[in-house]
Structure 1
Amino acid sequence: MDLLLVATPDGSEPGLSLLVDQAYRRGCTVVAVAPARTPITEAVDGAHGLFAPMATAPYDQDAPLAASAPGVLWALLTPLLALLDRAGLLAAPPEALQKVADRLDHVAERCGPAIATYNNPAKTLAADLADALPVIWTEGPTAGPAGRRFTAALAELAGRPALTAELPEALAAHSVLLSGALAAGADPDDFFRDRVEEAQALHARVVLLRDRPTGGLSAAPAARELALSHDTAISELEPEEGGELETLAEMIAITDFAAVYLALASGA
């Protein structure tokens, strides 16, 4: 191991400073992105490493930040992307990062609180998941990380469980789940349920996150067929055209907004 990259919104995790020290003793270069004035900064200085303070909004200076809090990901990831681009490990030149920023601004305009639900993909997704167990299926290289991020955000921000899997493996992994007690048609008496006195049963809802197809086979048609064959509703999110970082940014931003709207609706 020649390089240790540390990215944390906290900086005081137990054992993190020890990890940095051990890496330095083994001749490893250390780079960290974290809040300023945290224990990790001293550890990186002691290891003669490179420390980049995480960008925070003025009102976030003294507040602990959740790893899934909106904005935290890009505050941590952007400096690392720039570093890895300079090191030649991946392609993330300044113009690509600018396109990511532009895409995030565009999503904020589409998904902000002032935009009505019928024109707001994040509010629409949050409404779809209000009384459902999200079953997140992903297809494509950027959809997978976005789906895992969405699962974490739902748990950490909204206190909502969710399942995630990549297509086509998800079809086999979740087939029994969709035909069991969580299926929308599992309770034939639900039609006669008293909507005032009786709580609605929790049913699965598939969320299909996928990159724009660039040719080749897609499991999306089979995914739709499986969901609908079990009377399971499905929500779909597909980003606009662009590079991988742009499409990743769009899917993460929309699902982050959706997780926040769910948290607000549930009082989490």
Structure 2
Amino acid sequence: MLDESLLDAPEALARADRRELLRGAAEAGARVRTAARHAAEAGIDELKPEGRPRAVLIAGPGTAATGVADLVTALAGASAPVTRLHPTGVAPAAGALRWALPGWAGSVDLLLIATTDGSEPGLALLAEQAYRRGCTVVAVAPQRSPLSEAVDGVHGLVVPMATAPYELYDETQAAASPGALWALFTPLLALLDRVGLLAAPPDVLQNVADRLDHMAERCGPAIATYSNPAKTLAAELADTLPLIWTEGTAAPVGRRFAAVLAELAGLPALTAELPEALSAHGVLLAGEFAAGADPDDFFRDRVEEPQALRARVLLMRDRIDGGLTAAPAARELALSHDTAISELEPEEGSELETLAELLAVTDFAAGYLALTTGSHA
């Protein structure tokens, strides 16, 4: 159950936030600036690529790396195929994940490794395998980690991950934090801009950081729930089964939100893209998760019973100018089944700025849900 009194108690939220989730969300803009500086210092701005890579391969464990791969696919997938590598198994002796390149990978392909840990031996072996195949290798990893030492100057280029002191307690837990996402994502944006797969020059990254700062002001703990979009969203999604329906480039944000809700707040959520979401999730609005579903006697005593889980739709979309949209059909379907609906639509800006706004609101909302539902230890 959501403790609504805690939402508007900034000091109590700070005491409960032992893993600094809200602080990480608030400092996302600063993390972008630091990560961009690390990328420049690593020499990304001075690269002179001979052409676009044939394909981009992305490897890395954890929520942050998965989110980065999804975002890169959405942004650069039209310029070159983007393939997310998954572990092929676990080494029996050390229990470490094993990674492998696809058989076709070679000298015209780019391998990106993103990790908040850097001690995974499987990733170092993957970088060595890519080096032998002639692939270009770029890794974003904590400084002085085994992976960065294995790759730097021999097998490829390393950009030190922009870390915060309060994340040093456990990088595996930090992998779901907003700061970790931007620390890994920003250098890769700078690199992919340099090789011509997307547009993310320094001024665009600065605008992204400014948008994240703006959202931190709107969504911070000191802002009351009634005027705070993240607190409002957290209150609306508590004790529900969120059905996250996305449109446009908001799809990777929806998938990350579902993953972070599960990992941080223990809240299951389902996500799908419009218009397919209407058929994929429509049955849930008419089944046992429907707002009015109750198969038993209406008049029985429910005092000792747990609250039933009901679906709530979250419609998340970027700004669509003059294009076709399934949003009206989504609203009509939800309301026709008496299902509550929440909506997130960013303010005007570049594609990266609108993604940053959606990520900021959802990351803050996940933090508030984790802190106010008792699932954040």
TM range, smaller chain: over 0.9
Any conservation in 1 of the 2:290–2:311 contact (CA below 8 Å)? yes
Q: Separation in 2 of the partners of 1:232 and 1:175?
A: 11
Equivalences for residues 146-165 of structure 1 within 5 A: 146-165=253-272
1:95 to 185, 194, 203: 203
Cα shift at 1:49? 1.1
Any conservation in 2 of the 1:69–1:157 contact (CA below 8 Å)? no
Q: Separation in 2 of the partners of 1:192 and 1:24?
A: 69
* Cα-to-partner distance string for 1:60-96 (whole Å, 9 max, x where unaligned): 2343243321211111111111111122221101110
Aligned to 2:360: 253
Any conservation in 2 of the 1:139–1:209 contact (CA below 8 Å)? yes
**Secondary structure, in 3 states, of the residue corresponding to 2:174?**
coil
AA paired with 2:164?
A: A
Equivalences for residues 97-136 of structure 1 within 5 A: 97-136=205-244
Any conservation in 1 of the 2:121–2:147 contact (CA below 8 Å)? no
My pick for the range that moved more, 17-26 or 183-192, is 183-192
Equivalences for residues 11-160 of structure 1 within 5 A: 11-45=118-152, 47-64=154-171, 65-141=173-249, 143-160=250-267
Matching of residue 179 in structure 1 with residue 286 in structure 2: yes
AA paired with 1:37?
A: R
Q: Separation in 1 of the partners of 2:300 and 2:227?
A: 32
Q: Normalization by structure 2: what TM-score?
A: 0.68
Any conservation in 1 of the 2:127–2:155 contact (CA below 8 Å)? no
Cα shift at 1:212? 1.4
Q: Separation in 2 of the partners of 1:42 and 1:168?
A: 46
**Secondary structure, in 3 states, of the residue corresponding to 1:59?**
helix
Aligned to 1:218: 325
Moved over 6 A (4+): 188-191
AA paired with 1:114?
A: A
AA paired with 1:198?
A: E
Aligned to 2:51: none
Cα shift at 1:13? 3.0
**Secondary structure, in 3 states, of the residue corresponding to 2:117?**
coil
Q: Normalization by structure 1: what TM-score?
A: 0.94
The root-mean-square deviation of aligned C-alpha atoms, in Å, is 1.7
Question: In 2 relative to 1, CA 57–188 (structure 1 residues): closer, same or farther, beyond 3 Å?
Answer: same
The aligned length equals 267
Q: Separation in 1 of the partners of 2:300 and 2:310?
A: 15
Q: Separation in 2 of the partners of 1:91 and 1:232?
A: 39
Any conservation in 2 of the 1:211–1:238 contact (CA below 8 Å)? yes
Q: Separation in 1 of the partners of 2:328 and 2:296?
A: 30
**Secondary structure, in 3 states, of the residue corresponding to 2:119?**
coil
Cα shift at 1:196? 4.6
Q: Separation in 1 of the partners of 2:247 and 2:297?
A: 33
Q: Separation in 2 of the partners of 1:247 and 1:181?
A: 35
Cα shift at 1:198? 2.7
Question: In 2 relative to 1, CA 178–242 (structure 1 residues): closer, same or farther, beyond 3 Å?
Answer: same
**Secondary structure, in 3 states, of the residue corresponding to 2:137?**
strand
Q: Separation in 2 of the partners of 1:175 and 1:124?
A: 25
Q: Separation in 2 of the partners of 1:80 and 1:195?
A: 53
Cα shift at 1:267? 2.1
Q: What residue ranges of structure 2 are gaps of 5+ in the alignment? A: 1-105
Any conservation in 2 of the 1:21–1:47 contact (CA below 8 Å)? no
Cα shift at 1:183? 0.6
Matching of residue 243 in structure 1 with residue 243 in structure 2: no
Q: Separation in 2 of the partners of 1:266 and 1:180?
A: 26
Cα shift at 1:39? 2.0
Cα shift at 1:48? 3.1
Q: What residue ranges of structure 1 are gaps of 5+ in the alignment? A: none
My pick for the range that moved more, 180-189 or 125-134, is 180-189
**Secondary structure, in 3 states, of the residue corresponding to 1:15?**
helix
Any conservation in 2 of the 1:6–1:31 contact (CA below 8 Å)? yes
* Cα-to-partner distance string for 1:230-255 (whole Å, 9 max, x where unaligned): 11110000000000000000001100
Cα shift at 1:191? 6.8
Cα shift at 1:195? 6.6
Any conservation in 2 of the 1:30–1:47 contact (CA below 8 Å)? no
Higher relative contact order (CA 8 A, sep 6+): 2
